[in-house]
A and B are shown apart, each in its own frame.
Chain A
């Protein structure tokens, strides 16, 4: 049908205009308008200017009937497609020139969007709305003076007392991030007011506390690239832009072509906008550290990498991050759009993309999307650009490896996971020999540790024999030990062990499909070597030893076999291991059997937590116990700790969510039942009562949540206390012996402490004051206290 063909054409606004007259359905017109507006600025056979002109005419004619719809679509585009900001501001400018009232209505609409976003804590939307408003000054829709008034009000918000630092920071960040668009115009029209604004910002920045900076850095040193705090970096970039007389060359400015038309338009003044006051429930964006791994020396001939303090760098990065944000759910589209970056001929695109992706992967405290999302997007990029992307990625990996000794622990883990995953998609091919320098380093040095941990992850993704084949001979020490059970009751010397005959009997019984009761029967006569202990805390370590090691050995063929075994004899676990000490004994025996198979231990701990064979606190105490000292700097131990904490967190969050739902339902039911009392009879009431939770139910939910939160608090207290103890011990001993405290072990351990704060900051935050009062007091070592203080400053 001819209508459909017109619909699909990108250009030919004139044709659309003529054909449109014949169409009577409002919905079809609305859809067409929406489509035209959404796609303006995309690839077209006509110039952008003529498309904008045509579209403005079309829309002007439709303002009568479709005013609201057009307002909504334009505002939506402004917020959802910030990279096309100047295209839409030009469009609004042209419309304003044709229809002053519409211009005013649009401004009001956009102002409302801005204010609503602030109240709803939609910070990116607010910033894009602000940027749009600022750019409208360039299009003669708004007066510079009224924009400056708004910016001044925002500075006032930044200088308020008794509000979170992160709130104040956001307001300044929002102002600064509009200046690339409107700085020049303000400089030309209102230089002194602009200067005044900048001075206020500078004063604000000088006063800021930036304790969080160190917690959020990827690398602890600033060589070769400073890891700048985000606001400091943007300020430097704006200052440089100012030095260049606000001459900004990156942002396309279609309104320049329409200057003569737009100059004729009357400007509007912004209504007075006061930022909504702070509310305790408001959550502000967290600060971040700007990730830099490349500079112009890293990129071969071709377009030059913009300098760290050039505003271009900021604009390019922001744009690339927003592409990832928009397309992260479709990795192929994401890769395609990244490679199709509109200004790619002006920049070393692959380097910018790789830097931005690693910036997200290594973002502190945690990446905004799944780590595997970034890994798979990088693979797609390599597929789409096989002649350049793999080389850049290899270069990036090389750089990351070279600087790994100052990388924070959380990022180290992510780098290990990513690299193993990436290798597994490319037949594990890598030029290991290039890393030969690490062969002379201490085992605990990050470089050899990285290779060792990568190999273990690679082994999990493939199999032992394969891993022995991928490393060259000098690197053979990094080949992991093959994960196999070590069942002492079937080895030489078993005869001298106290549990052997029971163990052998148990094997036979279980193979004959005995019941849990029968298992207890087999274990019945094993002596308890702890009989002096109090009866309540009595457990029989030997029984646990024989049972756990034998059962898990019988299930050693696969995870499923082990899970089935645990499930079948769950009752025996519960009988034998009621107390925390007994549960730690279970874990110890699991470890004794499976020492070389880290992955198996992780899934077993996970399973035992899920089936409540062990409590979270038991796992935590076991990890910090003397027996695990040798394992302390191995990644898998921390995998276990974090999965334990996450389970606890999930449990609390779930109960909390259920409670809130129930409370809401109850409140709704109460308010509606008081209304409908005089209305229809029993039928309606009956169904309401069936759905509504009783007060008693809500109370019980509250109790359950309280218990869970107490457990959660207890878990964090245990973990932090143990950290403080071992770190203090180390610091004191080094001080006494006159040794340098800053050993590999120390760096790993303090890094792991920091990791607990950062990875679980949302939950830990609830207990900050308890932690401050009970554990992180002024008398503990300043190095340990600093970690806590940095954490606190992240959301202050």
Chain B
């Protein structure tokens, strides 16, 4: 008798479009992965904060901060890699959708870190979502990049 399936740890509908390989290969990696993508971070969230929160689900193998491709500064995402998949699953259960640095963070399976994937893929160097974003987010550089250009390139107030 099947009782209750654990929907929190299922694969989401997101697939990395830059993945080198078939969809089947990607899904297989996602199903075996011990690496998580963490999104919606503030640009000012540090590796230390990420360690503190994510250690509560298990022993962290490494944290790789997502960086702006040109500025090489954090651009609001990171990868957290565990030794065991079960620890990563617990993140999806208990950390996904809760707050870090006063922001709701989102975690999702990642097929595995490869050098180069730590860089934002947006045209201006950050994440793609920050190109098109229309809201003002003081933790992520203010307005989205396209909106900023239209406004004459004004940034939000500088963070802390």
Binding site for B on A (CB under 8 A): 34, 38, 73, 76-77, 80, 326-327, 329-331, 333, 370-373, 375-376, 379, 417, 421, 424-425, 427, 457, 460-463, 465-466, 558-560, 563, 599-600, 603
Contact = CB atoms under 8 A, between A and B. Distances in A.
Given A34-B1, A370-B57, A460-B52, A331 B94 contact: yes
A138 B52 CA distance: 54
Q: Which has the most chain A C-beta neighbours within 10 Å: B44, B95, B98, B101?
A: B98
Interface of B: 1, 3-4, 6-8, 44, 46-49, 51-53, 56-57, 62-65, 90, 93-95, 98-102, 160
Given A333-B4, A373-B90, 12 more contacts: A77-B1, A326-B3, A329-B4, A330-B6, A330-B93, A373-B93, A373-B94, A375-B94, A376-B98, A463-B44, A465-B160, A599-B48
Nearest to A647: B59
A559 B3 contact: no
B143 to A, nearest CB: 24
A650 B118 CA distance: 31
Contacts of B65: 560
B51 A559 contact: yes
A372 B65 CA distance: 23
B3 A80 contact: yes
A80 B1 contact: yes
A421 B56 contact: yes
In the A-B complex, the 9 residue pairs with the closest CB atoms: A460-B52, A376-B94, A372-B56, A425-B99, A76-B1, A329-B6, A372-B94, A558-B47, A559-B47
Secondary structure dominating the interface of A: helix
Q: Which has the most chain A C-beta neighbours within 10 Å: B8, B51, B64, B65?
A: B51
B99 A424 contact: yes
A326 B48 contact: no
A372 B95 contact: yes
B51 A371 contact: no
Contacts, number: 88
Given A330-B6, A373-B93, A463 B52 contact: no
B1 A558 contact: no
A47 B63 CA distance: 55
Nearest to A375: B94
B103 to A, nearest CB: 11
Nearest to B61: A610
A289 to B, nearest CB: 25
A588 B91 CA distance: 34
A405 to B, nearest CB: 26
Contacts of A560: 47, 62-65
A648 to B, nearest CB: 14
22 contacts: A77-B1, A80-B1, A80-B3, A329-B4, A329-B6, A329-B8, A330-B7, A330-B93, A331-B8, A417-B56, A421-B53, A424-B100, A427-B102, A457-B52, A461-B52, A461-B101, A463-B49, A558-B47, A559-B47, A560-B62, A560-B65, A603-B51
B8 to A, nearest CB: 6
